[in-house]
Amino acid sequence: MTQLTTEADVMRTAATNVDDTNDAVNREIERIQGVVEGTRAFWAGEAQTSFDGVMRNYDDAQRRLVEALRAIADNLRENAKNYEHIEASNMDDLQKISASAGLAL
């Protein structure tokens, strides 16, 4: 089995990359939405109703994507904090064991 290793800084960098990706995707989605909205005047009747439904679904999908990417970035940052806390705790424990055994770390 492959072991995965990481560091808190790597996790924070990954979170920033997810934020940047989220921003870029959101800008592109908004650009596309603007182009599509420009066609609104051409729809009427049932076609208008259908168009409105598609746009509601599009908006909902965009919102869910933004929220999912935001949650991933937030989780990466939280994992980085937890990782640092556990590493500090482990180091304290090792120093206590070392001191009680008369070893220098």
pLDDT for res 68? 98
pLDDT for res 99? 78
Instruction: Confirm whether 1 is domain-assigned.
Output: no
* DSSP alpha helix (H) spans, the chain: 8-37, 45-101
40 lies in which domain range?
8-101
Pick from 64, 74, 58: which is nearest to 19 by CA?
74
pLDDT for res 47? 94
Domain count, the chain: 1
Instruction: Confirm whether 29 is domain-assigned.
Output: yes
Instruction: Confirm whether 2 is domain-assigned.
Output: no
pLDDT for res 105? 58
What CATH code is carried by the domain that includes residue 81? Answer: 1.10.287
Distances (CA, A) of 97 to 47, 88, 100: 74, 14, 5
Judged on CB neighbours under 10 Å (0-12, 13-18, 19+), 89 is exposed
Pick from 75, 105, 73, 76: which is nearest to 91 by CA?
105
Low-confidence ranges of the chain (pLDDT < 70): 1-5, 103-105
